[in-house]
């Protein structure tokens, strides 16, 4: 509780500071910009943030400092950003889990909808249903039958309310199956148990699945975006395999603290979109099966709002929060 109010005070202080400096200099940015990553170095958020930061700093001629503030399942870094000046010099990378966390946790020290300004969407990467190497049902329809008709199966996810967990429960709902979720501390350990045949499948990011699929360690069943991916053109989508509209994607966005000046948001949005349009950035994402997805600031805000609503609904249907009580 006290932390909550502290965050609010910090936010209020930030707002007044912003009001005091309404005369924003024309040449933004004229000092280093801090890009907060609420995770440890080396993860997908960190890597995307660093590539974006690198290209933004080239464009601006100003350093972009990537600052890792891990901990508390991204709450520490996010709470930190919410308390910064909304002057455009403090931005943060957030992923789809930012909107999922809001649906399963009620101990967040900030309001994920109200305390942030959506600035831009970066890109997206589909998830892959990666099954154990010796699975017999390799076609989606046969696979659905298999998981529907066996009640002693398990799938791996990376924690309550993780994207893998949401995707898994959505699949259970869509197929009418009852596969047991087993949680792992990360995508890597979950995949090793799939490779070892201890669990049936895990629905992981294409980034992590791709090398294992290429090596034959994991059998790809389907991907979770609406369209096929260039990185795995032979793997069907769930939507085309009878599960209409099934879509769960990993995406990254750039957020600022609440109360940002609209013009500043536009400046940042167009700078980021300029990076997204470069060949270099597209190639960088394509390496792992991802694609840039430029959006205006308003579209980003709508997209995030839609995500917030959707995950609350899924979490309720699957009783994901009940598990936590």
Q: How far is the CB of 267 from another protein (least distance, A)?
A: 26
Nearer to another protein, 107 or 245 (CB): 107
Selected binder of another protein within 52, 81, 129, 160 (CB under 8 A): 160
Work out whether 159 is an interface residue with another protein (CB under 8 A).
Answer: yes
The residue range among 23-31, 39-47, 85-93, 297-305 that interacts with another protein, by the rule CB under 8 A, is: 39-47
Taking CA atoms, 248 is separated from 46, 65, 153, 225, 278, in Å, by: 21, 31, 22, 6, 26
Contact of 122 with 48, CB cutoff 8 Å: yes
Work out whether 214 is an interface residue with another protein (CB under 8 A).
Answer: yes
Taking CA atoms, 161 is separated from 181, 224, 274, 322, in Å, by: 11, 17, 33, 12
Q: How far is the CB of 140 from another protein (least distance, A)?
A: 24
In the DSSP assignment, the letter for residue 150 is -
Work out whether 6 is an interface residue with another protein (CB under 8 A).
Answer: no
**Number of residues counted as binding another protein (CB under 8 A):** 56
Nearer to another protein, 211 or 242 (CB): 211
Nearer to another protein, 152 or 230 (CB): 152
Among candidates 285, 282, 309, 276, which has minimal Cα distance to 119?
A: 276
Contact of 39 with 77, CB cutoff 8 Å: yes
Nearer to another protein, 215 or 305 (CB): 215
Work out whether 36 is an interface residue with another protein (CB under 8 A).
Answer: no
In the DSSP assignment, the letter for residue 42 is T
Work out whether 180 is an interface residue with another protein (CB under 8 A).
Answer: yes
The residue range among 6-14, 64-72, 87-95, 291-299 that interacts with another protein, by the rule CB under 8 A, is: 64-72
CB neighbours (10 Å) of residue 321?
16
Among candidates 151, 169, 149, which has minimal Cα distance to 104?
A: 169
CA distance 90 to 320: 33
In the range 92-151, which residues lie near another protein by CB under 8 A? 104-105, 107, 109
Selected binder of another protein within 30, 150, 183, 317 (CB under 8 A): 183
Q: How far is the CB of 184 from another protein (least distance, A)?
A: 8
Take residue 78 and report the two structure tokens written for it. Answer: 């996010």
How many helices (H) does the chain have, and how many strands (E)? 12, 10
Contact of 237 with 228, CB cutoff 8 Å: yes
Q: Cis ω on the peptide bond leading into residue 60 (within 30° of 0)?
A: no
Work out whether 72 is an interface residue with another protein (CB under 8 A).
Answer: yes
In the range 285-314, which residues lie near another protein by CB under 8 A? 287-288
Would you tell me which residues interact with another protein (CB under 8 A)? 3, 40-43, 46-47, 50-51, 54, 67-73, 75-76, 79, 104-105, 107, 109, 152, 154, 159-161, 180, 182-185, 188-189, 191-193, 195-196, 198-199, 207-208, 210-212, 214-215, 217, 284, 287-288, 323-324
């Amino acid at each position: 509780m006290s932390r909550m109010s502290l965050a609010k005070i910090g936010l209020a202080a930030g707002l007044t500071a912003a009001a005091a400096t309404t005369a924003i200099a024309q040449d933004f940015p004229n000092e280093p910009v801090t890009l907060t990553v609420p995770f440890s170095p080396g993860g997908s958020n960190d890597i995307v943030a660093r590539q974006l930061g690198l290209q933004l700093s080239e464009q601006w001629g100003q350093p972009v400092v990537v600052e890792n503030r891990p901990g508390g399942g991204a709450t520490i870094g996010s709470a930190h950003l919410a308390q910064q000046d909304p002057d455009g010099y403090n931005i943060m990378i957030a992923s789809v889990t930012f909107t999922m966390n809001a649906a399963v946790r009620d101990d967040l020290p900030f309001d994920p909808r109200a305390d942030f300004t959506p600035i831009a969407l970066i890109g997206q990467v589909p998830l892959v249903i990666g099954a154990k190497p010796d699975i017999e049902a390799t076609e989606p329809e046969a696979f659905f039958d298999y998981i529907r008709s066996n009640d002693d199966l398990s799938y791996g996810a990376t924690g309550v309310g993780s994207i893998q967990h949401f995707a898994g429960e959505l699949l259970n709902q869509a197929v009418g199956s009852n596969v047991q979720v087993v949680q792992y501390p990360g995508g890597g350990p979950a995949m090793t148990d799939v490779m070892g045949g201890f669990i049936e499948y895990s629905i992981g990011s294409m980034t992590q699945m791709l090398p294992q699929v290429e090596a034959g360690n994991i059998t790809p069943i389907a991907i979770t975006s609406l369209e096929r991916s260039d990185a795995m053109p032979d793997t069907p989508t769930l939507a085309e395999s009878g599960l209409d509209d099934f879509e769960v994607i990993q995406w990254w966005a750039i957020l600022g603290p609440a109360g940002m000046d609209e013009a500043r948001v536009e400046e940042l949005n167009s700078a980021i979109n300029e990076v997204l349009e470069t060949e270099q950035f597209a190639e960088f994402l394509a390496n792992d099966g991802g694609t840039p997805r430029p959006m205006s600031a308003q579209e980003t805000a709508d997209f995030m709002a839609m995500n917030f609503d959707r995950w609350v609904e899924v979490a309720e249907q699957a009783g994901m929060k009940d598990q936590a009580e």
